[in-house]
Amino acid sequence: MVKESNVDVLVIGAGPAGLMAGNALVRAGVNVRVIDKRPKKVVAGQADGIQPRTIEVFQSYGIAEPLIRQGNQMHLVAFYNPSPSGGITRDGRAPDVSAPSARYPFEITLHQGAIEAIFLDSMRQYGLQIDRPVIPTAIKLDDRPEVLESLDSYPVEVTLNHLSDEQEETSETEIVHAKYVLGADGAHSWVRGQLNFTMDGEQTDYVWGVVDMIPETTDFPDIRNRVAIHSTNGSCMVIPREGDVVRLYIQLSDDDAREVINAKGRIDKTRWTPQRLMAIAKRSFQPYTIEFPEEVNWWTLYIIGQRVASSFSLKERIFIAGDACHTHSPKAGQGMNASMNDSHNLAWKIAYVLRGWADPSILKTYELERRKYAQDLIDFDRKFAKLFSGKPRTEENHDGVTHDEFLAAFQQFGGFSTGIGIQYSPSQLTHPDNQPLAVQIEIGKRMPPQIVLSAANGRPYELQDFLPSDTRFKIVVFAGDLDAQVQRGRVEAFASGLGREGGVLKRFGDRTKGSKSGQEEGGEVKGIVKRKPWEEVFEILTVMAGKKETVNYTSVPTILRSHWTKVFVDDVDTQGVRGGKAYLTYGISPEGAVVVVRPDGYVGMVASLEGGAADVETYFASFMRPSTLP
Amino acid sequence: MVKESNVDVLVIGAGPAGLMAGNALVRAGVNVRVIDKRPKKVVAGQADGIQPRTIEVFQSYGIAEPLIRQGNQMHLVAFYNPSPSGGITRDGRAPDVSAPSARYPFEITLHQGAIEAIFLDSMRQYGLQIDRPVIPTAIKLDDRPEVLESLDSYPVEVTLNHLSDEQEETSETEIVHAKYVLGADGAHSWVRGQLNFTMDGEQTDYVWGVVDMIPETTDFPDIRNRVAIHSTNGSCMVIPREGDVVRLYIQLSDDDAREVINAKGRIDKTRWTPQRLMAIAKRSFQPYTIEFPEEVNWWTLYIIGQRVASSFSLKERIFIAGDACHTHSPKAGQGMNASMNDSHNLAWKIAYVLRGWADPSILKTYELERRKYAQDLIDFDRKFAKLFSGKPRTEENHDGVTHDEFLAAFQQFGGFSTGIGIQYSPSQLTHPDNQPLAVQIEIGKRMPPQIVLSAANGRPYELQDFLPSDTRFKIVVFAGDLDAQVQRGRVEAFASGLGREGGVLKRFGDRTKGSKSGQEEGGEVKGIVKRKPWEEVFEILTVMAGKKETVNYTSVPTILRSHWTKVFVDDVDTQGVRGGKAYLTYGISPEGAVVVVRPDGYVGMVASLEGGAADVETYFASFMRPSTLP
């Protein structure tokens, strides 16, 4: 007899996209299951670059610490180009991260196994482990409207085969009935195949090799920086890794590329060796010397190509995420970051729908938001790959890529390639009005970091640490100077509007059943907090204008300060170093403003204090289901 | 038959001083045992303030993280004084920590049990647990010169009684033969009593009460700051604690003081209640209101007194540390910090003598360095207690203490009360020559913090993180600009001098047996490091002058860069925010300087690059035993 079971969300694939989803969902209290076909987690190689925005996302889940502790940091990128005297010469170094608002102004490199282990450790604390090795063999969706519309139905049926660890033979078959399924099963996604979604895009002729190893010796002074080498011998990129490991991306010549591509147009790795890769690198590094070890940690070859899936979901019941949706060059460092941020975008939306708090239509914003990003990403990757794989400009080759062209592209795309510039399109969840009230808190982008001081004790905090991925909406009230009578009136009016009978807090915030939201693990906040009912859904933070020497947090209306830890003042710290620039940096006038930050850290709306309570209500009414009868 | 055993170091008492010693010694690979009479660790109350310098020391042992994570931070102090209209009024707020070089510009409050748990967790990783409940019943020293002079003798004999957990009855007697004994057994030290050392000093008539609780409600806007309240009703100090806990120090009136002191001149706690303390506080807070809970977490009463032990050691074989050496007012926040820093000072010296690396005479510097500090501490405490317990200046009382007097004292003693201004006197370990080469790296004080960048990758680091308490001496080479020919010559000369046959590294650094030094847990450094023989004793760090965009770490002579992580450049980070001020702040000229930092983080000597290798040799020759025959 075949075993059958029900689950709210089934995640297929325990790579970065699947693990981010599993971790986010289990923390949100969702009944979730994650399966993977691999008997064990990966231990070396593969993707390994974590962008600044992704570090922020890790921090929002309280898991940035092990990432930062274990990983290598890239702060600088060095550019080497052909020297007139032969070999290469350094044309300069620049910050690796040029986005000015980056909270973490560096990229982290760490092997994928360690990154996955961070998720596995986190999930284990919530009682979730990966089912493996398990493969799905059939999937079908009951797409009758009455089934799709019901919150209680399990419209997706997936057949699973449990394999034995050793022989990968089937030992057990199971049928799972799921409310939602996420296919996070990689570039060759089985789920995508079953849904008949196509991968649209193109493949280039550029073939690159990758090798991870610890150099024996080198006099190359940038071996611990990210380096873009344009040499007449081909291009090369250096990516320093944790410990003393270095990854090299090495371009194959056209002849070499032809040699490794088989009749089907695919790479045949058996036709090549890591020693041949390192021999190319040795030539490209001249006049610097680099001695390689006999054994390498890991290596591979790949053809650069850029493709996006024709659709990201079937009826918003079956979704795909990560490499299943988009593929691109590894060395732009985008792949794993895009994958994890796909799931980060989707997870809280599924949680809200499952809890009955939000209309299922919000699930459509997943494809809206992430497809545009994926398309931008492959456009970027195409341009970057062309610039980097192209021949350098030299005396002999006047059509080549100049250093200035490359550098300009590198910096132009800084905001994008760091993940920080991503902006989601207008939708139910993203209301683009009132932007002038806070010009630099761009609606649809992530809430930028800023140091503020606790108004109660002057301790500096990163405001982002109060925006954890705990599935709550954050209402950030920039209250201005409460010692000014007029301003105090505005703030009190806003507070009354928010807290009135039938107002946002009571109408959408009173959730007496069925939810379990994460505590504040993301930040550093401690304290004995007696939550009000609406604090399951909303977190209210108040940022006053004023001086730490004179501000009184007790001046804030009580509804805007559920605890003394939730009130801040925009002033410089006791060392005179950090803080005091929030209003200025965000572009907020002394009259203040209100910013609603989505559970994923992206800005949903901006309102004024005067009359703003009604705007906030309109925002939430556009997708939230009332918690109480009107 | 009585059980007998040998141990290199026996620590008596597992309070802060004993735990710091046990942790430091076991990390250093010393055969150490710690006994305590309490069946369990303390769980509430008692000392709880950690000063900025003590946080640095915790960081040097790699245990600052749990302290910072769990503790409350005090950044501001508020001063309240009698208002002309009755009650109290705020005269201002100031930074709680005024020492400009504080790496951690705040104090941490956390209950003593949690602090002790941090040590216990750390020690457990090295396989050391506390023997408890165990009491010593006899101690004697075999003081024959030939015994005292031998490194192999166990001249101290201590008789121990192992108690059963429940009845505190003796269940087993043991005789321990120890090379060294540390009495860290508190203000009523049994060890001190056995040695017939006296406590010299005086007691005042001031009686204070302490109560830990969570206020029910209050409109007092500084309840989360340190607050000094001078009211006509008596003085009061607010110390916010972890979570929402608040500690109040409350002065008793002269009448109340007489009521609680018994015929023997001691406090009789049964004559008082925490409710009476809170009733006093309620009056002192007026016109602010504060509602107290019915149950308090902890409370006590104490008489202010200041005393120092007549001696800190017997023949440098039996030592005392912590409250056994010095007692003072709790609210100056000095007690626990002084105690832990006593042991921190002593532990590495014992390790060096036990390893046979250093002459036993260095143990005399323990009392030299810590007694002067203890004396300064009680002088400070006497002055502070008088100012704080004195009546405030009012219309009626023209002889009272003014706010300006109190504030001036508070700031004047800032460097001292933070632990940062402590300066050890000249000795074998502290050679005061050449101070002008690095005016702000004061010889005998702790090496001040500074942000520098990795020369290999531009990552900002706190230089202090490369000075962990791993029992190694750090030779910090400020190499200047290596692109300048003359300067390069200086650096190369210094490097040759250091590494020559018979030079410091070979003469004192080649330790082929008997030692196990801690790895770099104190800092954030990762990397696969193949240590040279002398790296058991010495760590060489090089700080170049230059720009991150152009510096080449490969320019540093190889003996001054055992690994790419050990070379820094004094430049600002990619954000233009941190770093680039080391030479300026330290007062080092472009010609550079060499600084030797002791294993406890204190500056032992300063030398020039030119001829400095000989000075460094002289320094180490004054207390180190050669590792090789000359």
ipTM over 0.85? The verdict is: yes
Q: What is the mean pLDDT of residues A174-199?
A: 96
Q: Name the helix (H) or strand (E) containing A211.
A: strand A199-213
pLDDT tier for residue A170 given thresholds of 50, 70 and 90? low
| Final residue of a structural domain among A349, A366, A383 | A383
Report yes or no: B488 at the A interface, CB cutoff 8 Å. no
Q: How many CB atoms lie within 10 A of CB A400?
A: 16
Contact A74 B573 (CB under 8 A): no
Contact residues for A493 (Cβ-Cβ < 8 A; gap 6+): A609, A610, A613
Reference A604, options A470, A438, A482; nearest CA is A438
Chain A, residues 537-566, CB within 8 A of chain B, namely: 548-550, 552-555, 564
Report yes or no: B574 at the A interface, CB cutoff 8 Å. yes
| Final residue of a structural domain among B321, B351, B382 | B382
Q: Name the helix (H) or strand (E) containing A173.
A: strand A170-183
Identify which has the larger pLDDT, A187 or A330.
Answer: A187
Residues A463 and A533 in one domain: yes
pLDDT at B628: 59
Residues B372 and B509 in one domain: no
Return the residue in A111, A457, A525 with the most chain B beta carbons within 10 A, the one to mutate for interface testing: A457
Contact A76 B454 (CB under 8 A): no
DSSP for A486-527, please give it. Answer: HHHHHHHHHHHHHHSTTSHHHHHH---SS-----STTS----
- Note the pLDDT tens digit of each residue in A25-58: 999 999 999 999 988 866 655 777 899 999 999 9
Tell me the CATH number at A158: 3.50.50.60
Residues B13 and B161 in one domain: yes
| Final residue of a structural domain among B340, B361, B382 | B382
Chain A, residues 242-281, CB within 8 A of chain B, namely: 242-244
Asked whether residue B69 is assigned to any structural domain, the reply reads yes
Report yes or no: A482 at the B interface, CB cutoff 8 Å. no
Tell me the CATH number at A543: 3.40.30.20
Asked whether residue A338 is assigned to any structural domain, the reply reads yes
Residues B442 and B524 in one domain: yes
Within 13 Å and on the Cβ side, how many CA atoms surround A608?
A: 10
Out of A94-98, A543-547, B416-420, B619-623, least confident range: B416-420
Q: Which residue numbers in chain B have pLDDT < 70?
A: 42-45, 165-170, 331-333, 414-415, 512-530, 628-630
pLDDT at B516: 40
B31-55 in b/e form (b: 16+ CB < 10 A) is ebbbbbbeeebbeebbbbbbbbbbb
Residues B440 and B559 in one domain: yes
SS3 sequence of A554-598: HHCCHHHCCCHHHEEECCECCCCCCECCHHHHHCCCCCCEEEEEC
SS3 sequence of B340-366: HHHHHHHHHHHHHHHCCCECHHHHHHH
pLDDT tier for residue A512 given thresholds of 50, 70 and 90? low
Asked whether residue A274 is assigned to any structural domain, the reply reads no
- Token look-up 């203040």 returns A592
pLDDT tier for residue A521 given thresholds of 50, 70 and 90? very low
- Note the pLDDT tens digit of each residue in A209-235: 999 999 999 999 999 999 999 998 889
Chain A, residues 437-466, CB within 8 A of chain B, namely: 453-454, 456-460
pTM, 2 dp? 0.93
Residues A370 and A451 in one domain: no
B439 burial level (CB within 10 Å; 0-12, 13-18, 19+): exposed
CA distances from A496 to A455, A504, A569, A609, B452 (A): 22, 11, 22, 11, 50
Residues B21 and B168 in one domain: yes
DSSP SS3 for B112: helix
pLDDT at B619: 98
Count of domains forming chain A: 2
Mean pLDDT estimate for chain A: 91
Q: Name the helix (H) or strand (E) containing B500.
A: none
pLDDT at A516: 40
Asked whether residue A388 is assigned to any structural domain, the reply reads no
Spatial separation of the C-alpha atoms in residues A116 and A336, rounded to whole Å: 11
pLDDT tier for residue A574 given thresholds of 50, 70 and 90? very high
How far does Cα A254 stand from its chain's mean position?
A: 35
pLDDT at B167: 59
Contact assessment for residue B184 and residue B321, using Cβ atoms and an 8 Å cutoff = yes
Residues A478 and A374 in one domain: no
Residues A16 and A121 in one domain: yes
Tally: H helices and E strands in chain A? 16, 27
Interface contacts (A, B; CB < 8 Å):
116
pLDDT at B385: 78
Angle at B595 between CA B593 and CA B598, to 5 degrees: 175
Residues A440 and A371 in one domain: no
pLDDT at A166: 65
Asked whether residue B195 is assigned to any structural domain, the reply reads yes
DSSP conformational letter for A191: H
Q: How far apart are the CA of A568 and the nearest CA of chain B, in angstroms? A: 13
- Domain interval for residue A590: 435-621
| pLDDT over 70, % of chain A | 94
Neighboring chain B residues of A527 at a CB cutoff of 8 Å? 243-244
Residues A594 and A523 in one domain: yes
- Note the pLDDT tens digit of each residue in A391-444: 888 778 888 888 888 888 777 776 678 899 899 999 999 999 999 999 999 999
Spatial separation of the C-alpha atoms in residues A113 and A57, rounded to whole Å: 19
By CA distance, what is B214's nearest residue in A? A528
Asked whether residue B287 is assigned to any structural domain, the reply reads no
Residues B333 and B464 in one domain: no
pLDDT at A332: 56
Asked whether residue B295 is assigned to any structural domain, the reply reads no
Contact residues for A503 (Cβ-Cβ < 8 A; gap 6+): A497, A613, A617
Asked whether residue B301 is assigned to any structural domain, the reply reads no
